[in-house]
Amino acid sequence: MSNIAVGNIIEGTVVGVQSFGAFVNIGENKQGLVHISQIASSYVEDINQFVKVGDKVSVKVLEIKDDGKISLTMRINEEKKEERRPFKKRDDNRPGGGRGGRDDRRGGRGDFGGKEDFESMMKKWMKTSEDKMGDLGKREKRR
């Protein structure tokens, strides 16, 4: 019976070390990869400081892919970090429409305010554009 299943902790032997991770023989004629990010909870600059060929290690099976590749971790005793706190919707009743003083991402550059409809925003943009084009025309005539 195979003890190689996702979530299982297995004793293995390091059979290869590369810059990106360590290959571990986990029995049953199978090997898995412990990616460098799964070697230790701290930053690993040089994997050779943590493992070498022949080391006996405990690994946990993270994933078994369809093509037979097995992903492992040596970070077994770590508790899973608390998930991100849930998204909190901003209060749109705050001054500035809940934008906190930033540009209104929904309305472009923020020049038009946050509550106007598309039609009025487009009219303002057209007027601004026509004014600018008129100014450019006047400058050209002066030259």
pLDDT in tens, 86-135: 656 666 565 555 555 454 444 455 554 556 788 888 999 999 998 888 88
Q: Which residues does 80 contact at the CB level (< 8 Å), separation at least 6?
A: none
Domain of 48 in residue numbering reads as 9-73
From 56, 73, 90, the end of a domain falls on 73
* Domain assignment of residue 1, yes or no: no
If one counts the domains in the chain, the total is 2
**How does the average pLDDT of the chain come out, rounded?**
81
pTM: 0.53
How confident is the model over 9-35, as a mean pLDDT?
A: 94
Model pLDDT for residues 2-18, shown as the tens digit of each residue? 788 899 999 999 999 99
* Domain assignment of residue 19, yes or no: yes
E strand or H helix at 62: strand 56-64
**DSSP per-residue codes, 68-137:** S-EEEES--SPPPPPPPPPP----TTSTTTTSTTS--GGGSSSTT-SS--HHHHHHHHHHHHHHHHHHHH
* Domain assignment of residue 63, yes or no: yes
* Domain assignment of residue 94, yes or no: no
pLDDT at 21: 95
